Structure 1
Amino acid sequence: MYRYRLYVPTHRPLPVSSVKADIKAAAHDTRAPSTAPFRLTKVLLTIGFLLTAAAVAASLS
């Protein structure tokens, strides 16, 4: 199982050299950080709330 780009053994231990190599690779990773998991959901909810607020404001005025 991978967690935070590191392999975390679930049923048996890995050799220490393999774990150290994974830690070193994750520390020197130059890839761009991934986007937040629910970023699209947050954007869609924000748009929905803004549209709802606009509809309520239009109906009250």
Structure 2
Amino acid sequence: MIVSIDADRCAGHGACVATCPEVFTLTSDGYVEVTVDRVPDELVELVKRAAAECPERAVLVDTP
């Protein structure tokens, strides 16, 4: 799984960071950044939850 953040939608709420800090982090300017190239298998469900809970729908999940 690959995950990314739609920078145009992200408002920096940090819900994804709270849900899965192993994959998401807040930048110094208050927005979210993905810290991995591919989501480890053991974190896939947490990343899906983070995407579902994002109030701005800024977490984009791609399952090639």
Report the TM-score when normalising by structure 2: 0.28
Q: Compare relative contact order (CA 8 Å, sep 6+) and give the higher one, 1 or 2.
A: 2
Of the two, which has the highest radius of gyration? 1
- More helix by percentage: 1
- More strand by percentage: 2
